[in-house]
Amino acid sequence: MNRRIAILIGLSILVAALFGSNLLESTAQISIVPTPTKTAIPPTPTWTSVPPTPTNTAIPPTPTWTSVPPTPTNTAIPPTPTWTSVPPTPTNTPVPPAAPDLGIIQTSLPDSVAEAGASISVSVPLTMSNFADLDSAMWSWGDGTSDTCPVDSALCAVDPGDGFVGTVSGSHVYGQPGVYSVQVMAVDQFGQFDMATYEFVVVYDPAAGFVSGGGWFYSAPGAFTGDPAAEGNAVFGFVSKYKRGASRPDGNTQFQFHAANLDLHSTGYDWLVVTGSGYARFKGSGTINGAGDYKFLVWAGDQNPDTFRIKIWWEEGQAVEHVVYDNGFDQEIGGGAIVIHTK
Ligand SMILES: [Ca+2]
C-alpha cells in the first residue's frame, strides 16, 4: 500500500467515523477505479507546414547590353552629288532652213522616146531657202551611170536663177535600148536633200529587130479590175516594128478576154524596145470594144518558155492611171509563140 492509498484509507476511516459506514463503502469504491487521465486527446495541430515566403533569388539577372553595336560613324555615307553634268544652256544655234525642193523633171524628148546614141537633155526646177546653199546635185540616169554638180558641164549644171528658184539641168546619151528611170537629187549645205524621178525614158534601136506573137494564156481572177472574179483564157496577136526612117513603130495589137467582154484593138504605137535577142516591150494606144482611148504596154519574151504580159489603162490628166487590165507578170503562155526578129 502506497502512501496515497494509506492517506485515503485514513480519510475514509475518519469520514466513516463521522458520517457512518455507507460513506465508507463509497469511499472504498472510488479508491479502486483510477481517475482517467486526458492524455489521449490529440493535440491541436499547429500549421507548421505553411510554405516559407519565397525569396526572389530565382529572378533572372537584368541583362546587360554588352553586344549593342557601336554607333556607326558616318564615313560610309556617299558624298552629296554635285551637278556637274547639268547640260549647258543651249545656245541659239540656227535651225536649218527649209530643205531643197525639186519640181517636176522635164525632158527634151517627144513622148519620152529616144533613139539609142542620141543625146537627151533634162531639167528640173529647184527651190532653195534664202539661208542655205546648194552643196551638190546629181543625175542618176538609170543605166548605171550618174553625173554630179557642181560641174561646169552640160552633164550637170545649176542655174541659180532669180530669187530662190533655179534649175538643175543635165544631158545624157544612152547607148543601149531600154526603158530607164531618171532620178535627180539636190543636197544643201546642211545635208538636207530632195529627189525627183522621171519614168520612163525609152531608148530604142530601129535596127535591133522587131517582135511578133500570137497565142493564148490563162487569165487568173483579179486581172480585170472591173470584175475581179473574171477568169479564163485570153488570146493575143501583135506585131511591132520600126519602119525605115520612122520614129514610131508600126504594127497592130489585138487582145481579147472573153470572160470580161474585153476586146482591145490598137490604134497606134508610141515606142518599141527590143533588148538582147529575147525580150521586147512596146507601148501603144487603142480602143476597147470599139470605144475610148486606152493605153497599153506589152512585155513579150521570146524565151523558154515564151512569156506575155499586157497592162491596159486610161489616164486622167497626166498623173492618174486607172488600170483596166493587168495579168501582172511575165506569164508563160498556154499556146502559140512569140518571136523576136533580129537582123
Ligand atoms: Ca519564142
Distance CA 270, CA 325 (A): 19
Say if residue 42 is preceded by a cis peptide, omega within 30 of 0.
Answer: no
DSSP at 36 = P
The CA 276 to ligand 1 mean position distance, Å, reads: 14
DSSP secondary structure, 141-192, as one string:
-SSS-EEEES-SBTTEEEEEEETTEEEEEEEEE--S-EEEEEEEEEEETTS-
Distance CA 55, CA 59 (A): 9
Residue-level pLDDT at 26 = 43
Nearest Cα to Cα of residue 264 among 276, 256, 274, 272: 256
Residue-level pLDDT at 29 = 47
**What number is the average pLDDT over the span 78-105?**
74
Asked whether the beta carbons of 227 and 139 are under 8 A apart, the reply is no
pLDDT higher at 72 or 133: 133
Residue-level pLDDT at 198 = 93
* Model confidence at 326: pLDDT above 80: yes
pLDDT higher at 332 or 44: 332
Residue-level pLDDT at 79 = 63
The CA 340 to ligand 1 mean position distance, Å, reads: 7
Burial class (CB in 10 A: 0-12, 13-18, 19+), 142: buried
* Model confidence at 272: pLDDT above 80: yes
Total Cβ atoms within 10 A of residue 257: 23
Lowest mean pLDDT among 21-25, 92-96, 272-276: 21-25
Choose from 142-151, 205-214, 282-291, 316-325 the range with maximum mean pLDDT. Answer: 282-291
Q: pLDDT-derived band of residue 248, with 50, 70 and 90 as boundaries? A: confident
DSSP secondary structure, 87-127, as one string:
PPPPP-PPPP-PPPEE---EES-GGGEEETT-EEEEEEEEE
The CA 307 to ligand 1 mean position distance, Å, reads: 8
Lowest mean pLDDT among 66-80, 233-247, 294-308, 328-342: 66-80
Report the relative pairing of strands 232-242 and 249-257 from DSSP bridges.
Answer: antiparallel
The CA 320 to ligand 1 mean position distance, Å, reads: 35
The CA 215 to ligand 1 mean position distance, Å, reads: 11
Question: Model-level pTM?
Answer: 0.60
The CA 302 to ligand 1 mean position distance, Å, reads: 4
Residue-level pLDDT at 18 = 47
Residue-level pLDDT at 266 = 96
Q: Show the DSSP H helices in the chain as ranges.
A: 3-19, 21-30
Q: What pLDDT digit, counting tens, does each position of 50-91 carry?
A: 555 655 555 655 655 555 555 655 656 666 656 666 666 666
Distance CA 215, CA 331 (A): 12
The CA 328 to ligand 1 mean position distance, Å, reads: 20
Distance CA 168, CA 334 (A): 49
pLDDT higher at 276 or 145: 145
The CA 304 to ligand 1 mean position distance, Å, reads: 7
Distance CA 128, CA 165 (A): 6
The CA 327 to ligand 1 mean position distance, Å, reads: 19
Phi/psi-derived region of residue 14, left when phi > 0, alpha when psi is between -120 and 50, beta in every other case:
alpha
Q: What pLDDT digit, counting tens, does each position of 166-183 carry?
A: 899 999 999 988 889 999
